[in-house]
Structure 1
Amino acid sequence: MSDFVTPVLLMQTLAAVREAGRIITEAWEKPRSIKYKGPIDLVTETDVAVETFLGKRLREILPEANVLGEEGSPAARPEGTTWIIDPVDGTTNFAHSIPQCGISLALWRNDTVEMGIVYLPAEDELFHAVRGEGAFLNGKEISVTDESDVEHALVATGFPYSIREDIDIVMQNLRAVLMTTQGVRRFGSAATDLAYTACGRFDAYYEIRLKPWDLAAGWLLVEEAGGKVTLYDGVTPFDFGKGILASNGKVHKAVAALITDTDD
């Protein structure tokens, strides 16, 4: 159980995330101002506005913590006590008014995620977890599925921004999973995929080349909901910079046998 995340800290952080979510909902029907960070990697003014707002609020809540955000931090991974922010995970979805997008926020301390929050404002779904205290959706405790047969498993995945370079391994893995499981879903938001795995909508999820802000919060959600998170081999504890495999635990080994990371 976390001895760092107090009820007051959790309450203040959840309130800040909900308030930041209103920036997204207020922008939902407005024209998007879009810039490209890469050939298929984009950012909107809403991403910047949410990260700026949250960065300010979180420094007020926990002044001693660093802030690692997708849009404003040059760091590659957290150091010390750090807020890890993805202001709009699934920016392409947001740009096209697809509801699977939202805020991913994690609190990192002592080389572990102590608190994770994923808020999907278009659907008003607020997921949160504190280490050792379970995972919740809109205040109701959630858990992973009990499915143990990989042929009945619904699996989520994502495609990296480096898809043009990684197309062979992505398609190899996708073919293997499609041929073996009940089906595959691709929503374009790692935070959504991990939250959905935590609450039992998916049985497993895998993806390569994600950044800490994409998955830190969802990583804790899955574990606190009773699931398992590792590298693609299904055994090695997960670490930033590697492919992530998250599941209900019961189909973990079977899904791991189907997929290969780019480093394997």
Structure 2
Amino acid sequence: MPRTPRTTNTAARDADMLDQTVTAVRAAGSALRERFGEVVPYRTREELMHALAGNDDAALDILRPRLTQLRPDAGWVEDELDGGALPDGEWWVVDPAEGNVNHLHALPEWAVTATLVRDNQPVLTVVHLPMTGDTYTATAGAGAHLDGRPLRVSQTTDLGLSIVATSQARPDEDATVVRRVGSSITAMLFDALVVRAAVPATLHLLNVAAGRADAFWQFAGARADLLPGALLVTEAGGRISDAQGRPWTPQSESFLASAPGIHTEAVATLSR
């Protein structure tokens, strides 16, 4: 996903919109933090879905009106599990509670994300971690930042010395994809230094953008869990492709983000 050249007017407009998006995402994060605490019990899939929806709705009640006011003509992606290409034009791709199941289990690894997509290219993203207060931002062509500090990917050139990570795209993933995930983890256990496997994907991608991890891969996946990190990693100097090294789009069946120095090795491992 190459950087997108921007005109001066577009850059100024997106920079102003980024600040307002940060305010909206942080407000939604505060609402979710107020709901965070004890483990939420559930005994059935229906009870689980109800609890997840409660968090989503609490954040969306804040995000939807504010982001719609920012870009009234932009479309809105209703389902954060949706994948594939979007129609032309601008779209808000939002995950109101990325890592929602962690929130329900009183685990701190969750976030609120909002990404503006223009003609199927992410041009602006905000990822806020309410439990730490950290806010990651990126605009196309203007770099990636953590609370205003520039981010750069790792300079490692040896997969054997690298921390890599993966995540499952959906709880009820196709059996073929599940087997592919398992075999890829096994391959990486042989070739990488440390392999991490957990949800959500976005938090792993933040680590790649910040140079704390060296690569992340996933098979299948949704726009909402990959687009924010794809823009952040790209703007931090990383490489994005599918698992075979081909250009990645939201229609791709796999995803790889890595430090440039290990991308070829990572592709070789995942292609076995």
Give TM-score scaled by structure 2 length.
0.87
1:201, CA displacement in angstroms? 1.1
SS in 2 for 1:69: coil
Structure 1 pair 218–58 and aligned structure 2 pair: CA distance change class (3 A)? same
**Aligned-pair distance for 1:167?**
3.0
Bigger shift: 1-10 or 114-123? 1-10
Question: Structure 1 CA distance, aligned partners of 2:242 and 2:52?
Answer: 28
* Residue type at the aligned position of 1:2: R
Residue in 1 that maps onto 2:161: 152
Question: How many angstroms does 1:190 deviate by?
Answer: 0.9
Shift of 1:61: 1.2
* RMSD of equivalent CA atoms: 2.5
Indicate the residue corresponding to 1:201 in structure 2: 212
Conserved 8 A contact 2:201-2:225: yes
Describe the SS at the equivalent of 1:2: coil
Asked if structure 1 preserves the Cα contact closer than 8 Å seen for 2:239 and 2:259, the reply is yes
Identity of paired residues, percent?
27
Q: Report whether the alignment pairs 1:169 with 2:177.
A: no
Q: Bigger relative contact order, structure 1 or 2, given CA contacts below 8 A and separation 6+?
A: 2
Letter of the structure 2 residue corresponding to residue 13 of structure 1 = T
C-alpha displacement of 1:155: 0.2
Please give the secondary structure, in 2, of the residue aligned with 1:15: helix
1:106 counterpart = 2:106: no
Q: 1:212 maps to what in 2?
A: 223
Report which stretch shifted further, 136-145 or 42-51: 42-51
Structure 1, gaps ≥5 residues long:
none
Partner of 1:245: 256
Q: Which residue of 2 aligns with 1:65?
A: 74
Give the TM-score normalised by structure 1.
Answer: 0.90
Contact 1:69 1:86 survives alignment (8 Å): no
1:197 CA displacement: 0.6
* Corresponding residue SS for 1:78: coil
- Cα deviation for residue 78 of structure 1 reads 2.7
Letter in 1 for 2:63: L
Count of residue pairs brought into register by the alignment: 259
Alignment partners' CA distance in 1, 2:220 and 2:141 = 28
Residue aligning to 2:94? 85
TM-fit CA distance, 1:113: 0.7
**Unaligned runs of at least 5 residues, structure 2:** none
Deviation at residue 31 of structure 1 after TM alignment: 6.3
Q: CA deviation at 1:38?
A: 11
Structure 2 residue identity aligned to 1:86: D
Secondary structure at 1:43's aligned position in 2? Answer: helix
Could you tell me which amino acid in structure 1 is paired with residue 152 of structure 2? S
